[in-house]
Chain A
Amino acid sequence: MSFPNGSQRTAASPAEQGGADGQHGSAGQPAESAPEAATSGSALVKVYGSGEAGVRALDNVDIGFAGGRFSAIMGPSGSGKSTLMHCLAGLDTPTSGRVMLGTTDLTGLSDKQLTLTRRDRIGFLFQSFNLLPTLTAEQNILLPLELSGRKPDRQWLNELTGALGIDQRLRHRPSELSGGQQQRVAVARALITRPEVVFADEPTGALDSKSGANLLEFLRGSVRQFGQTVVMVTHDPVAASHADSVVLLADGNIAGRIDEPTQEAVLDSLRRLGG
């Protein structure tokens, strides 16, 4: 499977598409990350619990991910990868610091505005439990559009499901699909809204290496073919080597960055971090 070639983006650019809600300008704000960053965080702190018992999962992290690129976040277990991703994706709110999605400051948004932002401008891929058991594959894919009351773009749906090889399984429920198929349905759902950023937390963690590689190829294809932004958390150096760049985390801090990573370079850096 590979990303559909001749696909034309018919919809408006992502920035115009989403964000019906307060785009609290941050234009004058000096951002540490590159100005063209699709998603970025500055001075991010996330503390779980409180007082002495509190865990500092993110310790003053400044980070930005460029648009149209495939980025990976790596690090030892417990280093704060998932926490960082959740904060950037508006799934969780940081204890302090600022999160930007394009030009929108997510930290200032109410729960409802944040929800609508996720719905319209962000795509998600989780390691497992991506699909609702009561809905068919197709209903699962179209769910974000349904929730926002938008009309599904049938052609885009056909292209995605065709390319992912699940067009014959659309009427099935998740329990009737294999793990790999379920994950591909989740990819289709993440891309159906043409989100500004797709966040993926160990999307291949529960797959065998072949289906995992296929999935990564597809994601990479979406970045190459039309400049989709993908941010992926992974443990797997092989998976990371599909990305354009890798950010390394250790103990809630940025511990390094590798552009055009190879498996060996990634493994090396991880070994140095003691992962």
Chain B
Amino acid sequence: MLRNTLLQLRHNIGRLSAAGLAIVLGVGFVAATLVFTGTMQSSIRHMVAAPNLAADIVVTDDTAGIAEQEGDDQRQRRLRKVRNTEGVAAAVPRTESYANASWAGERYSVEVNRLPERDSLRWYELAEGSYPGSADEVVLSQRAAESANISPGETITLQQPQYVSAREGESEKPPVEREVTVSGLVDVGSSLLTGGSRVTVFAPQELLDELGTIDYRAIDLLLTDGADTSAVLDRLRDKFDTGQYAQVRTGQQQAERAVEMFSGSVAAAMNAVLLPFGAIALFVAGFVIVNTFSVLHAQRSRQYALLRCVGATRGQIRRSALFEALLVGLVTSVIGTVFGVLVSAAVSWPLGLTDSPIDFGSLGITPLALTAPVAAGLLVTFLASLAPAARAMRVAPLAALRPVPDEQSSRRIGRVRLVSAVVLTVLGAGLLLGGALLGSMGMAVPGGLAAVLGVLLFTPTLIPAVARAFGYLLRSFGPTGTLASGNAVRNPYRASSTSTALMIGVGLIVLLLTGTASARHSANEQIDQRYPVDVKVAAEEQDQPVPEGVRQRLESLDGTAVTAALSGTSFEMTRSEASTPEGADPAETPTVTFRALGIDPAKLAEVSRHGAEDLRPGTVLVPTNILDYWGWSEGDRVELPIGDGSDTFRVATTKLLRSGILLTRSDLAATGAETSTTEIWARAASDTYMPGYTGELNSLAEESASTPVDVGGAVQMRARFTQVLDTLLLIVTGLLAVAVIIAVVGIANTLGLSVLERGRESALLRALGLTRGQLRGTLALEAVLLAVVGTVLGAVIGVLFAFGGVAAMFENIGLPVVFAVPWAPLLLVLLCAVPAGVLASVLPARRAAKAQPAAALSEE
């Protein structure tokens, strides 16, 4: 029996190739994820451990924040204590801070570390140039410096960060700035989180002193030759009588401790994000496997019957079938794991996690990363083969004696299945709807899952029905269309599991697209209300007019819909006793300068997205912070000393501006104040791509060098939001694409198996005058039909579920519910189904068209 199984397997190896590919892709995804996250983890470990390993002993503060409170004196005292300890040759505080660095017109926030004078404490290697020879030279971390385009010899400016100067009580003084030369680059190793994008500056202590960055959390010690490490450790521990603030450990111990603190967290988080996509891919692959084994067993049913005739028991046939599945699962899972390792190696290299694409030593290949994907692949294959094997077992010995049936007996959908499908779908949809109306995620999520399960049970009736409906459209393609639509649904189970696989992948992508479209829409509405003006251009210097050229440039930008000029002036106001908040010293809040802006209400209505109707003659619009400051409330009548004398206005709150107050242009003019065009507001056209528009606005600001202008407004926030959402969408779609690719492989699989099954039919058609092209066309249409049905159903279900989910979620967090259907991407997804189907049919069609009509007819 075993030998027979193996022989059969060898005979059918070609038929299993597509299912094998599906498993390889799914398992490969899981393996690549595990290995990749493991690689990240080990590179982070390395980064964390390396600085500590350079020192013989490390003295650290374990409690964050203590160092600052201790103050300089205490810190100096501790350092002296350490240095005076017998056996300590050197004690170097590991000073680290941040600075604003600028070069080539760009500003970066960089980490500044002390470059130890002692060579042995430099845990990195010099990669290029030389170490600093003076206090105005620095070295940079190599990889980040290269990606930021700085090379040795160039000059950069380091500026003390605001919070350092503020802490030193020098807020009036401008922050310290130093021009330094990059003398070389050092290789600090790399990990996505640390070495990747951020430039690290290693500077001599003198420079750090000048920049006022003296924070440190650790002191690295080197021992004198021949000193006994444990004796020194004891001496140090005695000096810092408790372990309260300071910890004394060997470099090795400290490295282990640092690794321990990092351990697990990163990899676990990334695995939690990535592995569900692997599970989806494997789930979809399961459908392909079910199909393959169903077809395979159906084709072998006569052989099985013959075996039964000669005395094989049901159990033997079943065991043989399961054994075959396990064997296939094992081989393909192993291949998939190897594939996954290769993929993760290919991904890790450009990210700088490894030194070369074949640097397998640096990959985080753990035993788990190798065994878990194989186990997952085996499990999926085994589970997917259970039902087909059970069906193979049911064959009666007599079946061997019957003539070959002309048509594959198409099994009908079972009653139990139909009933549970209806119940689950109705119940789930009801719960989802209820959750959506009540804003209860607790109802919506299980409801959605139940409905999905119901729909999945439904697919054997649903998909052929939809395919038949679409098939009528195919009739217009003539006889090829008629044949294709008939072939596609002649085996409902096969058609449905083929299209279901695609439906799942597409459904998830569409769910995501619709969800983010709704989120985007809702967020945009929120931004509209809170930040109603897209673009605000003002001169950097207060009360300076915006050059006319800037306004013209702004107006000429494609993204700009409309602009408005605001006249502005400043006025001073003294807080009266009455309006001083209780407990506050009136002397401390003397005279304050405010900006007053005037705009024509009609213009405001054009340029703002919200709240323009509040501006009326005699009204002053005030942001809430100013309202609170003066202790005013909405509707108060207040006297404002603008221009000559004072005028009385009615107060209304607004979100149109954050500082200053807003009047109608004529009211402002009536005060007699001297005004100029101090601000230009603009509204972006509705179809503007915000990130691109922001870039144009920035260059506009740069062009106006003579009168520097600031560009503000909601557009930057919109741009950032759009970018974050787009990036997220792209990544997740990319991850789901693996499942879709597997589903398309599934279509090719079904088609390929059917082509083999229909060998005589194809031959007959060719004999009767179907050309090769027409035969290929028939298969392409069949594949397109399956692809379109899966995609359309996936899209419909994805949109519906997204609506339910969005409604429930928004209702839950108290936001107004907004639906948005992402038409353009949706259409793109639907259109992609056609080429995907055609692509899937290429190999099977080639095979089918190769056969000679006569040769195929004589085949048994």
Contact = CB atoms under 8 A, between A and B. Distances in A.
Interface in B273-316: none
Contact of A92 (B486, B490, B855): B855
Contact of B406 (A89, A119, A175): A175
A134 interface: yes
Q: Which of B482, B772, B853 has the most CB of A within 10 A?
A: B853
B769 A174 contact: no
A146 B486 CA distance: 15
Contacts of B456: none
Given A115-B770, A115-B772, A118-B769, A133 B854 contact: no
Given A118-B767, A135-B486, A86 B774 contact: no
B768 A139 contact: no
B761 A132 contact: yes
A91 B483 contact: no
A174 B770 contact: no
Interface in B73-132: none
B486 A134 contact: yes
Contact of B769 (A139, A147, A173, A175): A147
A129 B406 contact: yes
A111 B769 CA distance: 11
Interface in B744-774: 760-761, 764-774
A114 B818 CA distance: 62
Interface string A116-159: 10111000101001111111000100011011110000000000
B768 A144 contact: yes
B768 A133 contact: no
Contacts of A116: 769, 771
A169 to B, nearest CB: 15
Contact of B483 (A89, A134, A149, A175): A134
A146 B482 CA distance: 10
Nearest to B489: A134
B857 A91 contact: yes
A115 B766 contact: yes
Nearest to A128: B403
Given A133-B407, A134-B490, A111 B772 contact: yes
B361 interface: no
Interface in A66-93: 82, 86, 89, 91-92
A118 B490 contact: no
Nearest to A112: B771
A58 to B, nearest CB: 13
Nearest to A148: B769
B767 A143 contact: no
A126 B854 CA distance: 11
B405 interface: yes
A174 B772 CA distance: 25
Contacts of B407: 133-134, 173-175
Nearest to B408: A133
Contacts of B486: 134-135
Contacts of B487: 134
Contacts of B65: none
B244 interface: no
A115 B769 contact: yes
A91 B854 contact: yes
B768 A118 contact: yes
A133 B767 contact: no
A82 B852 CA distance: 14
A144 B490 contact: no
Interface string B464-489: 00000000000000110011001100
Contacts of A132: 483, 761, 764-765
Contacts of B482: 135, 139, 146
B858 interface: yes
Contacts of B761: 129, 132-133
Contacts of B854: 86, 91-92
Contacts of A115: 766, 769-772
Contact of A131 (B406, B766, B769, B858): B406
Contact of B478 (A91, A134, A146, A173): A146
Contacts of B769: 115-116, 118-120, 144, 147-148
Contacts of A144: 768-769
B28 to A, nearest CB: 37
Q: Which of B482, B761, B766, B854 has the most CB of A within 10 A?
A: B854
Nearest to A124: B767
Contacts of B405: 175
Contacts of A92: 852-855
A111 B490 CA distance: 29
Given A134-B490, A175-B406, A129 B772 contact: no
B764 A129 contact: yes
Q: Which of B486, B769, B774 has the most CB of A within 10 A?
A: B769
Given A91-B853, A133-B761, A143-B479, A82 B768 contact: no
Contacts of A130: 764
Contact of A129 (B483, B760, B773): B760
B468 to A, nearest CB: 12
A132 B407 CA distance: 9
A91 B767 contact: yes
Contact of A149 (B478, B770, B772): B478
Contact of B479 (A82, A146, A173, A174): A146
Interface in B438-485: 478-479, 482-483
Q: Which of A126, A134, A144, A173 has the most CB of B within 10 A?
A: A134
Nearest to A129: B760
A198 to B, nearest CB: 13
Interface in B807-858: 852-855, 857-858
Contact of B768 (A112, A143, A173): A143
Interface in B771-790: 771-774
Contacts of A124: 767-768
A130 B771 CA distance: 18
A192 to B, nearest CB: 11
B767 A174 contact: no
Contacts of A133: 406-407, 490, 761
Contacts of A82: 858
Contacts of A139: 482
Interface in A239-267: none
A196 B774 CA distance: 24
A107 to B, nearest CB: 15
B785 to A, nearest CB: 13
A148 to B, nearest CB: 7
Contacts of A131: 406
B647 to A, nearest CB: 87
Nearest to B855: A92
Contact of A126 (B766, B774, B857): B857
A132 B482 CA distance: 12
Contacts of A120: 769
Contacts of A148: 769
A135 B764 CA distance: 13
Interface string A205-224: 00000000000000000000
Contacts of B767: 89, 91, 118, 124
A119 B774 CA distance: 13
Contacts of A86: 854
B770 A147 contact: yes
A118 B770 CA distance: 9
Interface of A: 82, 86, 89, 91-92, 111-112, 115-116, 118-120, 124, 126, 129-135, 139, 143-144, 146-149, 173-175, 189
21 contacts: A82-B858, A91-B767, A91-B852, A91-B853, A91-B857, A92-B852, A92-B855, A111-B771, A115-B770, A118-B768, A118-B769, A124-B767, A126-B764, A126-B857, A129-B764, A132-B765, A139-B482, A146-B482, A174-B406, A174-B407, A175-B406
Q: List the 8 closest A-B pairs by CB distance, nearest first.
A: A119-B769, A134-B486, A92-B854, A91-B854, A133-B407, A86-B854, A146-B479, A115-B771
Given A112-B773, A133-B407, A143-B768, 6 more contacts: A118-B769, A119-B769, A120-B769, A129-B406, A129-B764, A144-B769
